[in-house]
Amino acid sequence: MAENKTVDKEKYLDEIEDSIRTIGVLTSGGDAPGMNAAIRAVVRRALAKGLKVRGIRRGYHGLLKEEIIDMSARDVSDIIERGGTVLQTARCKTMRTEEGQQKAAAICKKYGIDGLVVIGGDGSFAGAQKLANLGVNTIGIPGTIDLDIACTDYTIGFDTAVNTAMEAIDKVRDTSTSHERCSIIEVMGRNAGYIALWCGIANGAEDILLPEKYDYDEQKIINNIIENRRKGKKHHIIVNAEGIGHSTSMARRIEAATGIETRATILGHMQRGGSPTCKDRVYASIMGAYAVDLLLEGKTDRVVAYKNGEYVDYDIDEALSMTKTLPEYQWEIARALSYNYTK
């Protein structure tokens, strides 16, 4: 029996000898909880398939600096519950240049990296796209707390980030009620309002300010605060998206206009940290394994996605050309459940 298993493995290795023998994995751009689960899945899935795995530290920056290490199953033990990324991450302007892209492709070939798994956002996928055009088999995995990648309904880190923000806003609400304040809580998301939208619903915010929807008419907010206070409301929670920002100056203007003490709380990078939720661990693990399977199927220049309840993949060009819009029904419900201006 053992002899048959050995023969089968040797046959399998012979079949992939001319295609994928060594996989590289890197994390690029902003970190997101769950990236370690994806790294772990890539490493262990590849090893189980008889491949070698090389980890690239500090994203494309580290690739250009040849910060490349061999990875074993032991190297990814006890990382699934940790936030951040054990491979570290960085942004790399050089990778946007043709010279940098050619150097990165040459380094992949130098280290025998036949396939590269890139965990990150749209900017990271753009780099993967360039490498694919230069002969490096690449697969992208969506890793960003912003949920702003158009081809997928889920991105690694969003679930943890939105839960972190929700719990923080609950705490701010407690003290805001005690002091009968208005509180503006600014959440991350870059130019996308998904974290703000979800927290607005989950935290029962009175106002939700999203880059996709906000008309910058502050008087509406002021009128809403005054009307709610007249009705006996003890606090007023405004969830403000990072893409709008300026929460501190907004708080000063609102306090001056209403006479109600108004404080701004900017949650910042705490949303990127912390132990990932069960959802982020499971989804990231499946995406990591799926990326390895795609490479073994001979696919390249693809992005893993979660769409309509299924794990799928798209051509990187197609994925990058897609436009993501805020779900109108979710926005309608958010407004209907809040003390909004139409009441």
pLDDT tens-digit series, residues 308-322: 999 999 999 999 999
Predicted model pTM: 0.91
Q: How confident is the model at residue 6 (pLDDT cuts 50, 70, 90)?
A: low
User: What is the per-residue pLDDT across 167-180, written as a single tens digit (0 to 9) for each?
Assistant: 999 999 999 999 99
| Burial class of residue 231, CB neighbours in 10 A (0-12, 13-18, 19+) | exposed
User: What is the per-residue pLDDT across 188-210, written as a single tens digit (0 to 9) for each?
Assistant: 999 999 999 999 999 999 999 99
Question: Mind listing the domains of the chain with CATH numbers?
Answer: 2-157+276-321 (3.40.50.450), 159-272 (3.40.50.460)
Which of 268, 314, 265 is closest to 145 using CA atoms? Answer: 268
- 106/61 Cα distance (integer angstroms): 14
User: What is the per-residue pLDDT across 103-137, written as a single tens digit (0 to 9) for each?
Assistant: 999 999 999 999 999 999 999 999 999 999 999 99
Which of 184, 106, 194, 110 is closest to 147 using CA atoms? Answer: 194
Lowest average pLDDT, out of 15-29, 235-249, 276-290, goes to 15-29
Q: Which residues carry out catalysis?
A: 146
- 343/227 Cα distance (integer angstroms): 10
